[in-house]
């Protein structure tokens, strides 16, 4: 029964089967050196037949390269880090690099532990992802391999991070509302302690300012929940009855806002236009009507982080800093003119 105890085929066995020396077999398989076509074919055939797969560990030991990187996430592989991971895996996979995944569950002890383990496995680099854009402690000072932060940033200025351009994304949203003729735009968003909430509110203000428009009241900071969206909309309608557009800090909030607007008899987008943030499909599409929203391009963030990592691994001199990736606006019913 123990088909699994059969050891993997080694190049020694291939060589024996082909009736050549082990060195010759290696050359044949790697297309190196000068050897007779017939010999090469014989070796290839034997390798094929035995299902030979060169042992990457042995190769790695020899070359001093493992073609692996570690992916450390603090988001429990959540909604934000998954697309980032996919983008990263995409960029890495193309380069034949395999990815070790580690979820720290937001536990620093666990994180330290994982980093140690990754280094023992001789990964060539580490990508750290998160769900919040605020600076977090560096994953380790002076590590022997390059590190990049994606969808989170390090407090250490020498580290390199890739995060979304929340400011620009907000401006896209508000400019769109203004362009469709709205003049009384309100803003309902998440907790003020979140950098993303503050930055988005800033973009909201900037976009209004550049158009010489004024906001429908101060930004309303609350929670990242539908429930808060409902409450916030109530407050907004009470204090700014003439509001004709709401820019929300998340799709969940926007959904709550949409529900309250409907309950209060305001038509979307006819009476009030609505823009969300995140482009979280199940939320944005399930909403009535479907939401115009800002897409974070998370996949691009992951891809950019991975590409940077590959560059540094490849020898490009490392430089610290923060790279902000542009957001894009996805148009749906909630702002149709």
Partner DNA sequence: GTGAAAGCGCTAACAA
Partner DNA sequence: TTGTTAGCGCTTTCAC
- Binding residues for DNA, per CB under 7 A? 7, 10-12, 20-24, 26-27, 29-30, 32-36, 38-40, 52-55, 58-59, 61-64
Calculate the CA dihedral of residues 189, 195, 196, 202 and round it to 10 degrees.
70
Residue 55 or 192: which CB sits closer to DNA? 55
From residue 270 to residue 289, the character string flagging contacts with its own copies as x (rule: CB under 8 A) and all else as - is: ------------xx-xx-x-
Separation CA 335–CA 293 (nearest Å): 10
From residue 133 to residue 152, the character string flagging contacts with its own copies as x (rule: CB under 8 A) and all else as - is: ---------x-xxx------
Q: How far is the CB of 271 from its own copies (least distance, A)?
A: 19
- Tell which positions 69-128 bind its own copies, by CB under 8 A: 71, 76-78, 82, 85-86, 89, 93, 96, 98-103, 116-122
Calculate the CA dihedral of residues 192, 194, 197, 203 and round it to 10 degrees.
110
Q: In terms of C-beta distances under 8 Å and separation of at least 24 residues, what long-range contacts does 189-194 make, across chains too?
A: 189/219, 189/220, 189/221, 189/222, 189/248, 189/249, 189/250, 189/253, 190/221, 190/222, 190/223, 190/224, 190/228, 190/249, 190/250, 190/253, 191/221, 191/222, 191/223, 191/224, 192/221, 194/132, 194/134, 194/224
Residue 57 or 141: which CB sits closer to DNA? 57
54 binds its own copies (CB under 8 A): yes
Q: How far is the CB of 184 from its own copies (least distance, A)?
A: 27
Strands 292-295 and 328-330: antiparallel
Q: How far is the CB of 276 from its own copies (least distance, A)?
A: 13
328: left (phi over 0), alpha (psi -120 to 50) or beta: beta
- From the number of C-beta atoms within 10 Å of its C-beta (0-12, 13-18, 19+), residue 54 rates as middle
- Going by C-alpha positions, the residue among 297, 317, 280, 251 that lies closest to residue 150 is 297
CA distances from 332 to 78, 229, 260 (A): 25, 19, 19
Residue 144 or 241: which CB sits closer to DNA? 144
Separation CA 133–CA 113 (nearest Å): 23
Residue 96 or 319: which CB sits closer to DNA? 96
Residue 6 or 238: which CB sits closer to DNA? 6
Residue 24 binds: one of DNA, its own copies, none (C-beta under 5 to 8 A by kind): DNA
Q: How far is the CB of 10 from DNA (least distance, A)?
A: 3
21 binds its own copies (CB under 8 A): no
303 binds its own copies (CB under 8 A): no
- From the number of C-beta atoms within 10 Å of its C-beta (0-12, 13-18, 19+), residue 58 rates as exposed
Residue 20 binds: one of DNA, its own copies, none (C-beta under 5 to 8 A by kind): DNA
Q: How far is the CB of 12 from its own copies (least distance, A)?
A: 14
Residue 30 binds: one of DNA, its own copies, none (C-beta under 5 to 8 A by kind): DNA
Separation CA 111–CA 219 (nearest Å): 36
Site residues (vs its own copies, CB under 8 A): 1-4, 6-8, 53-58, 60-61, 64, 66, 68, 71, 76-78, 82, 85-86, 89, 93, 96, 98-103, 116-122, 142, 144-146, 225-227, 252, 255-256, 259, 282-283, 285-286, 288, 312-313, 317-318
């Amino acid at each position: 029964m123990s088909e699994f105890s059969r050891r993997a085929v080694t190049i020694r066995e291939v060589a024996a089967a082909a009736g050549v020396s082990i060195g010759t077999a290696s050359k044949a398989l790697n297309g190196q050196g000068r050897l007779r076509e017939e010999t090469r074919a014989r070796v290839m055939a034997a390798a094929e037949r035995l299902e030979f797969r060169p042992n990457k560990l042995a190769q790695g030991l020899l070359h001093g390269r493992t073609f692996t990187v570690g992916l450390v996430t603090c988001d429990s592989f959540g909604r934000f880090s998954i697309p980032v991971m996919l983008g990263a895996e995409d960029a890495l996979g193309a380069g034949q690099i395999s990815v070790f995944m580690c979820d720290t569950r937001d536990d620093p002890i666990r994180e330290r532990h994982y980093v140690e383990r990754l280094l023992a496995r001789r990964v060539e680099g580490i990508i750290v992802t998160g769900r919040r854009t605020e600076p977090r402690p560096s994953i380790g000072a002076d590590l022997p391999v390059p590190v990049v932060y994606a969808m989170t940033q390090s407090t250490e200025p020498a580290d390199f991070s890739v995060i979304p351009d929340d400011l620009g994304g907000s401006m896209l949203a508000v400019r769109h509302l203004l362009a469709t003729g709205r003049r009384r735009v309100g803003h309902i968003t998440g907790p003020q302690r979140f950098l993303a909430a503050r930055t988005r509110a800033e973009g909201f203000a900037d976009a209004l300012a550049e158009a010489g428009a004024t906001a429908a009241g101060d930004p309303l900071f609350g929670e990242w929940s539908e429930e808060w969206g409902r409450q916030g909309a109530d407050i907004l309608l009470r204090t700014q009855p003439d509001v004709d557009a709401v820019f929300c800090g998340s799709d969940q909030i926007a959904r709550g806002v949409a529900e309250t607007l409907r309950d209060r008899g305001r038509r979307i987008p006819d009476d009030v236009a609505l823009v969300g943030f995140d482009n979280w499909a199940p939320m944005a599409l399930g909403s009535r009507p479907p939401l115009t929203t800002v897409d974070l391009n998370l996949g691009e963030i992951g891809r950019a982080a991975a590409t940077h990592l590959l560059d540094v691994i490849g020898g490009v001199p490392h430089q610290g800093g923060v790279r902000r990736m542009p957001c894009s606006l996805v148009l749906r019913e909630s702002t149709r003119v």
